[in-house]
A and B are shown apart, each in its own frame.
Chain A
């Protein structure tokens, strides 16, 4: 084999002066190309306005959000923004808008990846010049965005994450959207303590913030009762088959099973428990699982009797005029997405936003918008089951939830709504 790839020093020197030198050519090429991209990308011009009025013109209010739309399993949640929120905003625009202004809603794809969220949120604020960010999804993803938005004074409204760190301590421009996971878990824990006073509880939890908050809240709810946690089974969010976890939970001798999971895994838990292991204990699941899709995936028979909590109406209650109206809005403005609890949540967040914008009046500034949001007390959106309450010291809308149980393949409300103040 010829040793042509080991050069003598002369060869190397010759080659260096002939073709060598730092890669200026590539740099130049790259700079030119990116300049083209950048210039093209800046084709969208935005109104330049003063900071407090950024994103507001006489005809338009610009709102933005960051959502996983692709490349991640969380893209399953995309319809919340693309159908629920956008659909409702388009509907409101067709009705004449708010105080004469129409909403322009920008949905930025962050693939549920925190660094990408940081980038798209900065783009929303600095290039799209949004007035406010509404309904950003994800705890880890929004962590990077929250600090930035707070620093810039951009209202960070109705965050779609139940992480308590976003609303405790209260930040003037930041509002939660989902019920706080800890609070919700506390409500469920209280229910278990009341219905099954001496229960031995098995927990199946997602190995992240969501599961951790759930556990915290449940334990708070168990306080003062003789309920004990006898088994704790975590799983990674990518895992879809939880047979082993349920098996271990059963072996621990528990007589109540609580699942802090997302719908596919929650359905899997129910199916495995009921169908595979013949395990008949009461099952309680997080509100995130209280969806029609959960029942479909688990099978109506297995899901029978599963308990959860809800704040939004079920999309199949077509006899309810508000739900029927929602279905109509989705049909016309929702890009064809099927109505589901996702679209309901989206519309709920959109309705809060619209109400706050209305109350802020024609002289619309970020300050007035935020104060208007804080004034939403006892307000009940059309697709909500319960009214919301916010105040200068409480930036979470939902503190009350309704208990629901699966009966005949549908979630049916029972008992009295229970609530706690999520912050002082």
Chain B
């Protein structure tokens, strides 16, 4: 393979962009569209990337439906918060510990999950998500978690040597972006390794995987543990940047929104997860844009006396997006992008239709049946 390829140049360019992003708003052409608020948003994006990567590893690659991912993020966040708040543990260690602890919990959750399939697993994880706020307020745990009022930490600041050339916000950006890049690279490697292929096998056909000699219980638990590890790190980073955590911070709506974005972005795809993280971060902007061009205002459709606000339709928009994506774009936008660039539909149009009609696609799953290779690696 050549040392300098187009791909690698593109990659280096993007990495460079990521590296200097927090400073860009000070430069001429960029200050019209960028400002420190965007730096804040991209910091959030890095955190979402980690969290969503974990979810994708579990639901996309391994096919385990978990609606409780938000609960794992919350556990990670609380662990890190308690370590920093009660025990004065330094941030990096606290976050790492949070990741490992949450990973362990994930591993334990994997055990009962072995017996649960499809909808049962969804119900159980949804119940976990709904019960978590109350569990965090129980008498025994309340002393650690601060009960209903949550935990308030000191605002994160850039530490002494670097605060000369980094603002607090830039510091937070790098503190989150670096782990995010590392974790993304890690995920990318895992999905292309034996473990990753075992996950895909698990998703496609559990019994078949067993026949092939894959230790199904072990890999299921690994899948849960790994996704929980990501969730824990994400939660730790979150609580570090937010400096506040309450039992109601991660709720069911968030779990559903996370599912929406990774399905939209593309299950079983690292690029899809990146895309999902973008959608997650900028979803409010997106809805605001739609509202400002009047898409969400339907005259006469509301009860007289009821304030017509485009925001109330946001949930309907997400739901619709989810349904449409699952039906028409089952491999998400990343899959769509891949299809467009690889299948080159313009060529087919030119040369006329070729081949038999494609069977109904299914979300993230190899549609051409078990005899063909799993979807092309990107």
- Chain A interface residues toward B at CB < 8 A: 1-7, 12, 15-31, 33-35, 37-42, 69-72, 75, 78-79, 82-83, 109, 111, 113-116, 118-120, 122-123, 126-127, 139-140, 143-144, 147, 151, 165, 207-209, 211-212, 236, 335-338
Which residue of chain A is the closest to B133 with respect to CB atoms? A236
Residue ranges of B at the interface with A (Cβ–Cβ < 8 Å): 1, 7, 10-11, 14, 17, 32-38, 40-41, 44, 133-134, 137, 147-150, 152, 155, 185, 188, 192, 197, 200-201, 204-205, 208, 211-212, 238, 242-244, 246, 248-249, 251, 253-254, 266, 269-272, 274-275, 278, 281-282, 284-286, 288-289, 304-309, 311-315, 333-334, 337-338, 341-342, 370-374, 376-378
21 CB-based A-B contacts, threshold 8 Å: A3-B212, A23-B188, A23-B269, A23-B274, A23-B334, A26-B269, A26-B334, A28-B14, A29-B333, A34-B281, A70-B315, A71-B253, A82-B307, A113-B253, A119-B284, A126-B40, A143-B244, A144-B242, A147-B243, A212-B147, A337-B306
- What is the bound-complex CA distance between A75 and B192, given in angstroms? 45
Whether B150 lies near A140 (C-beta < 8 A) is: yes
**What residues of chain A lie closer than 8 Å to B286, measured between beta carbons?**
37
- Are B315 and A27 interface neighbours, CB within 8 A? no
The reply to whether A26 and B311 contact each other, CB–CB distance below 8 Å, is: no
Report whether A338 and B305 are in contact in the complex, using a CB–CB cutoff of 8 Å. yes
Provide the residues of chain A in CB contact with B148, threshold 8 Å: 207-209, 211-212
In the bound complex, do residue B14 and residue A70 qualify as a contact, i.e. CB atoms below 8 Å apart? no
A211 vs B284: C-alpha distance when bound (angstroms): 32
Residues of the A chain whose Cβ atoms lie less than 8 Å from the Cβ of B149: 139-140, 165, 209, 212
Question: Pick the contact of A19 from B200, B246, B281, B377 — CB < 8 Å?
Answer: B377
Closest to B207 in A: A1
In the complex, are the beta carbons of B188 and A72 less than 8 A apart?
no
Cross-chain contact A21 with B269 (CB below 8 angstroms): no
With A and B bound together, what is the CA distance between A31 and B125 in angstroms?
33
Contact of A34 among B278, B338, B371 (CB under 8 A): B278
User: Least Cβ distance of A120 to chain B in Å?
Assistant: 7
> Which 5 A-B pairs have CB atoms at the shortest separation, nearest pair first?
A26-B271, A23-B271, A69-B311, A126-B37, A109-B311
Residues of the B chain whose Cβ atoms lie less than 8 Å from the Cβ of A83: 307
With contact pairs A26-B378, A70-B314, A335-B307 given, residues A122 and B249 touching in the complex (Cβ less than 8 Å):
no
Evaluate whether A140 and B35 lie within 8 angstroms (CB atoms) in the complex, with A82-B307, A119-B41, A207-B148 already known.
no
Partner of B249, one of A38, A114, A336: A114
Residue of B44, B192, B248, B289 near A12 (CB, 8 A) is B192
Shortest A160–chain B CB gap in Å is: 17
Q: Which residue of chain B has the shortest Cβ distance to A86 in the bound complex?
A: B307
Docked complex Cα distance between A34 and B280 (Å) = 11
Interface pair A24/B377, CB less than 8 Å apart: no
B312 touches A26 (CB 8 A): no
Distance, CA A211 to CA B149, complexed state (A): 11
Separation of A165 and B282 alpha carbons in the complex (Å): 32
B44, B211, B278, B374 — most chain A CB neighbours (10 Å):
B278
Contacts of B275 in A (CB 8 A): 26, 29-30
Question: In the bound complex, how far is the Cα of B373 from the Cα of A212, in angstroms?
Answer: 58
A24-B7, A83-B307, A336-B307 are known; give 4 further A-B pairs, CB within 8 A.
A23-B274, A28-B14, A30-B271, A33-B278
In the complex the two chains form, what is the Cα distance from A78 to B311 in whole Å? 11
Residues of B within 8 A of A25 (CB): 271, 337-338, 341, 378
| CB < 8 Å neighbour of B312 from A1, A22, A69 | A69
Distance (whole angstroms) from the CB of B197 to the closest CB of chain A: 6
Chain B residues lying within 8 Å of A42, measured Cβ to Cβ, are 32-33
Min distance, Cβ B301 to any Cβ of chain A, angstroms: 13
Residue of B nearest to A163 (CB): B149
Find out whether the CB atom of B370 lies under 8 angstroms from the CB atom of A120.
Answer: no
Find chain B residues with CB under 8 A from A211 CB: 148
Q: How far is the CB of A272 from chain B (nearest CB, A)?
A: 22
Write the chain A residue with the least CB distance to B366.
Answer: A5
